[in-house]
Amino acid sequence: MEILLVSDNHGLIEPIEYVLKKHKDIENRVHCGDFELPLRHVSQFSVVNGNNDYSSLPKIIKVNYGDHRILIMHGHPYASIFDLSNLANYAKKEECNTVFFGHTHIFADVELNGVRLINPGSLSHNRDGSRPSYAIVTIDEKTIKVKKMELI
């Protein structure tokens, strides 16, 4: 299964339209929050609220797929640019071994304390100076592969 994973477009519609058009063949789409748009613009995604979103959407979603117990969230107040240990600990408390998150505006694919932490970066601007990004996540019963994609 392929997943189009995005986050943090902060009111910009163009990056959302771009990734949906470019990856129209990917049916599973996840947005990790801070969309700051009317919900119709993210209706093709499973989406969670970020710290700048004020909708009735959930703050977290949990999904089980094979050996993967995935926690989808924006990441605040657990993730910071400098430390992801609180996020990993929170995932363990929620009995999840994988987290899709945003908030930091920095692409990440790391394992910490037995938890895989995956952040697609930001569709608006990355705080590490890299180009705006998103991810294509390929997942099967046992493995997860992550490919960083940059906006053109």
Q: Which residue has the tokens 């490919």?
A: 147
Q: Is the pLDDT of residue 7 over 80?
A: yes
- Rounded Cα distance between 141 and 11, Å, is 35
Higher pLDDT, 81 or 30: 30
* Averaged pLDDT, 101-113: 98
Q: In what order do the strands lie in the sheet with 60-65?
A: 60-65, 68-73, 98-100, 115-119, 108-112
Specify which residues 98 forms β-bridges with: 70, 116
For 60-106, the pLDDT digits (tens) are 999 999 999 999 999 999 999 899 999 999 999 999 999 999 999 99
Quick one: tokens of 113? 């304390």
Q: Is the pLDDT of residue 34 over 80?
A: yes
CA of residue 46 relative to chain centroid, distance: 10
* Averaged pLDDT, 132-136: 98
Q: Residue 16: what pLDDT?
A: 98
Q: Is the pLDDT of residue 152 over 90?
A: no
Higher pLDDT, 137 or 152: 137
Candidate CATH numbers 3.60.21.10, 3.40.50.460, 3.40.190.10, 3.30.310.50; the one for domain 2-150: 3.60.21.10
Quick one: tokens of 137? 């996540």
- Rounded Cα distance between 76 and 104, Å, is 9
Closest CA relative to residue 113, chosen from 89, 78, 93? 89
